[in-house]
Amino acid sequence: MNHLPPTDLALLFQSALDKFAELPSLLAHNMAMQIMLLLSIVGGSVLALLMRLGGGKKSGGASDGQDNFYAEDEQASDDNKESSSNVGSLEEENALQNEEKQKEIEKEAEQERLIELFKQNDAENLKAKEALEENEKNKKRANLDWTKKDKNNQDEYVDKADRLIAKKIVKEKEQKDQTKKKEKQKLHNVMDVMLSLIGRDMQDSQIVKSLYQKTQESEKLEDIVQTLDAVKSFLEVCKSGKLQDVFAKDKNLPSKEEALFDLANGNFEKAVMFLEKAMGVHLDKADIMSDGPLKQSNYMEASNYSVAMGSLAMSFNGRLAFNSFKNSVEICQENPTGWSRLGDSFILMGRDGDAKAAYMKTVNLADNNKDYTLIANADYGLAMISQREGNFDMSKRFFRESEMIYADMGLYNAMSGDEVRAMEAIERRDKQERVAAIMNLINSYDMDRAEVI
């Protein structure tokens, strides 16, 4: 391999260095590094010669030129670093600004969401307040518009809390409802018999005992008692001369004969319409009266009609029945029958705590009035609740007290000869003949002889 003399190398390097001054600083710096590497290889003699060749230049010579070159290169490097630093700072600042903007956007979105929630909450509170005021305004007038078939309207019969509780009722309630429905269907099948016994002026205790044995003891005694009272309330309404003008003005009411015919065939809806109308009449009277015994008497009458409505409605509209009993005690809190029937409804709904409170109220009021069948029914309900709670001793005690009251009233006794013959005479006719005979009850029913057990 041939090597150039040191002098030629030096000249070559000097020429290269002269060209550096014309190049951009960064590129010159890279090439200078390569030349310095070559210089370190070729040795100090070339470097010395290179320095002598540069001695004729302006002061400072090669060394000063080299220093200026590196000074310029360092300055360029610093400028580049500063530029890079500025670019990085700018990017970082932009990133922070974008992050701040994103936070502002999220904050505004959250504020809008909270404002919307506050608006919804205010609307709900306003709606609840208006509903509460409306409920207080009509405290003595429950929504009993049971003739509407729309589900949304029917849902109005029970408030939100009642609907939530109803959803929690388990299979045990459904089974009891089915059993209750079957029992009520049996009572429906003998409604013509009940009306026929009423037409024969039999005592209430005899009618209850006869129907209890007629249904093979599948009916609860209190249900028979309260259904009998409701039927008699309907007959009283039809017979009452004071209400005839009111009924005549209401074009939505069916005829009394039509309602009685349906009742005899086990369909109670039309009879309930008459009872509801009678309840409203007594409420209207009480509302315009000054405080006193007469005002309270009208409230009690309205409350009793509400109970009668519920007792008949239990067979075809459970919600109407519940609201009728609830309405009864709101109209008159001193009505033990209303509390007793409300307790029965609570039992069916699985609300044992509410049922217990209603039955205790019943016992306190009925004990003062000597309404023993109501006390017996309350004891029976408390026995069921105690059994569910696992308190079997208490359950047995309540059940025994209930049975003793019914036994003392003779409701468990066998039918007498007169009762058997009356029942046989009724059953010898077919149902159509019995219903035809019942139609005379509207005119022949004697309210003065009506007996309450």
Dihedral of CA atoms 185, 187, 192, 195 in degrees, nearest 10, equals: -150
Q: Which position has the token pair 């029914």?
A: 377
Helix (H, G, I), strand (E, B) or coil at 369: helix
d(CA 388, CA 404) in angstroms, rounded, equals: 22
- The packing angle between helices 336-349 and 171-189, to 10°, is 130
CA distance 72 to 74: 5
d(CA 22, CA 28) in angstroms, rounded, equals 9
Residue indicated by tokens 């002061």:
59
Q: Which of 326, 330, 331, 369 is nearest to 344 (CA)?
A: 326
One-letter identity of residue 395: S
DSSP 416: P
Is residue 69's pLDDT more than 50? no
Residue 153 vs residue 190, higher pLDDT:
190
| Residue 156 predicted with pLDDT over 90 | no
Nearest to 206 by CA among 399, 7, 421: 421
Confidence grade of residue 414 (pLDDT, cut at 50, 70, 90): confident
Give pLDDT tens digits for 341-364.
Answer: 999 999 999 999 999 999 999 999
**Pick from 189, 188, 198: which is nearest to 440 by CA?**
198
Q: pLDDT digits over 379-407, tens only?
A: 999 999 999 999 999 999 999 999 999 99
- CA dihedral (162, 164, 166, 169) positive or negative: negative
| Number of neighbouring beta carbons within 10 Å of residue 141 | 16
Rounded to the nearest angstrom, the gap between the alpha carbon of residue 213 and the centroid of all alpha carbons in its chain is 42
pLDDT, greater one: 370 or 303: 303
CA 136 to CA 154: how far, in whole Å? 20
What average pLDDT does the segment 323-332 reach? 96
At residue 180, what is the residue type?
K
Confidence of residue 450 (pLDDT cuts 50, 70, 90): very low
Instruction: Give the highest mean pLDDT range of 20-29, 301-310, 430-439.
Output: 301-310
Hey, how many other C-beta atoms are within 10 angstroms of the C-beta on 161?
8
**Residues with Cβ within 8 Å of residue 267, at least 6 apart in sequence:** 316
- State the pLDDT at residue 157: 42
pLDDT bin (cut points 50, 70, 90) of residue 412 is: confident
Q: Residue 137: which residues within 8 A CB-CB, separation 6 or more?
A: none
Q: Mean pLDDT check: name the lowest of 166-170, 218-222, 386-390, 416-420.
A: 166-170
- Residue 70: CB partners within 8 Å, gap ≥ 6? 32
Query: Average model confidence (pLDDT) for the chain?
Result: 75
Neighbours of 339 (CB within 10 A): 27
**For residues 404 and 230, is the Cβ–Cβ distance under 8 A?**
no
Average pLDDT over residues 303-317: 93
Residue pair 53/63 in contact by the 8 Å Cβ criterion: no
What pLDDT was estimated at residue 5? 58
Select from 194, 192, 258, 260 the least CA-distant residue to 434: 192
CB 419 within 8 A of CB 206: yes
- Mean pLDDT calculated for residue range 214-234: 86
What lies within 8 Å, CB to CB, of 409 at 6+ separation is 205, 372, 373, 453
Instruction: Give the integer Cα–Cα distance in Å for 407 and 380.
Output: 13
| pLDDT top residue among 389 and 22 | 389
Whole-number Å distance between alpha carbons of 299 and 297: 5
User: What are the φ/ψ torsions at residue 79 (nearest 5 degrees)?
Assistant: -60, -40
